Amino acid sequence: MSHPEEIATCVVTVTYGERVPLLARVLRAAFQCGARYAVVVDNGTPATSKKALVDLQNELGREAMEIIALPRNEGSAGGFHAGLRRVAQLRDMRFVWVLDDDNLPEENALSVLMDRWTQLGAHETDAMMCFRKEKRAYRKVLVRKTLHWVEPDAFFDFNLAHLWNGGKRRAHIEKGCIELGVAAYGGLWFARAWLDRIALPPERFHLYFDDYAFSRQIPEHGGRIWLCPDSRLNDIDISWQVNRDEIHPWLEPTTEERRIFCTIRNRLWLERPVVRSRSLHMVNMALYLGVKVIGANLGAMARRFRSAPVFVRRFRLIGRAIRAGLS
């Protein structure tokens, strides 16, 4: 079995707003897991958080944590772009462990990743991914054993072609790990050498799917990403998409419009390079919107009839985001 002390691992994370208390819990746990160093991107935090970050750096040790301060919030794309660019320069770090500032690792999260990586052959082309039970896509992977990737012609994984092509591709499973085609930032562990071969996260994405745009380069360049169910992270903050069973998050009146716009636009940016049939892609988009966004939420919208003006604005916003994503 490999142990954390045998493989120098650097954590890279991004924080913003007043989230340093969450970050502090995450970093303490990461170091207890065996991480050697941490690069923390201060994504335009207020003065109180800047002071809290310095206090945290003093607690953990300046030899263990460095802060990269951005003058304004550049979103996850800009933040992780800056953090990973810095990690690429740390030649004494062999591996990178990407964590969101609210991904709390369980005690053995890192050692389990390393153990499974060793069992898979200890190839630096293999990247590992922690399991987050709060992440719906990973729960589906465990149940269905299908490949989580950016499927050609699908829109948000919805593909009419599954009616005649046998459905989603089965995922390769080895040593208890399930292969992924893309991965989120939170929990991704990979060799630092990958940063010499692939592009950093695309800053123009600002928010959402920049992690998929970054991580999918690993299989595109001959590597593999493995989801490790036994290496667990717990999200200690609530996602804006958590109540999707009640109403689709794009229609939830309290959801920030920028989040919806970036989610839809960026997903289309992600999908466009793998579209083989533009007509099928457009049909899938129309069906997704008609069935999953409108049809499945008619009852919820009717119960919230006083929010009708909000729903009208949301549909207009969705239209703008689609046009931006296709342009």
Per-residue tens of pLDDT for the chain, all 327 residues: 444 446 899 999 999 999 999 999 999 999 999 999 999 999 999 999 999 999 999 999 999 999 999 999 999 999 999 999 999 999 999 999 999 999 999 999 999 999 999 999 999 999 999 999 888 899 999 999 999 999 999 999 999 999 998 889 999 999 999 999 999 999 999 999 999 999 999 999 999 999 999 999 999 999 999 999 999 999 998 775 555 567 899 998 889 999 999 999 999 999 999 999 999 999 999 999 999 999 988 998 888 888 889 899 999 999 999 999 998
Same domain, 11 and 150: yes
pLDDT at 1: 43
Boundary (domain end) residue, out of 204, 235, 266: 235
Same domain, 151 and 269: no
In a domain, 184, yes or no: yes
The three state secondary structure string of the chain is CCCHHHCCEEEEEEECCCCHHHHHHHHHHHHHHCCCEEEEEEECCCHHHHHHHHHHHHHHCCCCEEEEEECCCCHHHHHHHHHHHHHCCCCCCCEEEECCCCEEECCCHHHHHHHHHHHCCCCCCEEEEEEECCCHHHHHHHHHCECCCCCCCCECCECCCHHHHCCCCECCEECCEEEECCCCCCCEEEEHHHHHCCCCCCHHHCCCCHHHHHHCHHHHCCCEEEEEEEEEEEECCCCCCCCCCCCCCCCCCCCCHHHHHHHHHHHHHHHHHHCCCHHHHHHHHHHHHHHHHHHHHHHHHHHCHHHHHHHHHHHHHHHHHHHHHHC
Do residue 88 and residue 171 come from a single domain? yes
- The number of domains in the chain is 2
Prediction pTM value: 0.93
Same domain, 289 and 153: no
Q: Are residues 298 and 181 in the same domain?
A: no
243 is a domain residue: no
Last residue of a domain, one of 176, 201, 235: 235
Per the domain annotation, does 29 fall within a domain?
A: yes
Looking at the fold, whether 117 and 228 belong to one and the same domain comes out as: yes
Q: Are 190 and 270 within one domain? A: no
Q: What is the domain extent for residue 267?
A: 257-326
Residue 249 falls inside a structural domain: no
In a shared domain, residues 276 and 228: no
Q: What is the pLDDT of residue 243?
A: 53
Q: What CATH number is associated with residue 61?
A: 3.90.550.60
Residue 251 lies in a domain: no
Per-residue pLDDT tens digits for 132-150 = 988 889 999 999 999 999 9
Residue 241 lies in a domain: no
Q: Report pLDDT digits (tens) over 156-192.
A: 999 999 999 888 999 999 999 999 999 999 999 999 9
273 and 219, same structural domain?
Answer: no
My answer on whether 76 and 211 are in the same domain is yes
Domain-embedded: residue 66? yes
**Are residue 161 and residue 298 in the same domain, yes or no?**
no
Q: Are residues 212 and 283 in the same domain?
A: no
Domain boundary among 235, 265, 298: 235
